[in-house]
Amino acid sequence: MTLFNLLFFAIAALIVASTVLAVTRRNLVHAVIYLIFGFFGSAFLFYLFGATFLAALMVIVYAGAIMILFLFIIMMLRVEAPEERLFPPRQLLPAVLFATAYVVVGALLLLQDATAVVPLPEVRTGPAAFGRYIFTQSWLAVEIASLLLLVAMVGALLVGKRPAGESEE
């Protein structure tokens, strides 16, 4: 088993485990944090396959912008957190384990041998070619996604809006 195979399976296991934890958390903020771990794992996979631009987009768009949008929606809806400490020990241990695993995997990716044999051929493209493809071939999908995000944001604003007679506490 090569280093690339080992890294792939380690990252895949981390993505699956963090996504399962995101789905099973009762506290929505913790679920978003575990989902961010999953997005960083996906970015590691893109980097491992030689798609550095897609890895950067994954971190910027999903782990950055979309997760911040989710956090704003959670705050606007005023979802009550369960009555427990901020970081209970049973949730601190998985977070520390995931953080340690991602640091180790990231270090292995950075310290890998540049002359190692890659099982897949590298296919690289620049941001200009990627943008040209997205906005000429897949423009309808981009517009539909932007419209869905707009509708979701307006819906979250309407759901989180206070009734006219309710005063702030």
pLDDT for 10 beyond 60: yes
Its sign, for the CA torsion 17, 22, 25, 30, is: positive
pLDDT tens track for 67-77: 777 777 777 77
81, 128, 140, 151, 161 from 32: Cα distances, Å = 13, 32, 29, 21, 22
C-alpha distances in Å from residue 162, one per residue of 3, 92, 151, 167, 169? 55, 34, 19, 8, 12
Looking at residue 124, what is its pLDDT? 73
pTM score of the predicted model: 0.55
pLDDT, position 14 = 92
Diameter of the chain by CA atoms?
A: 68
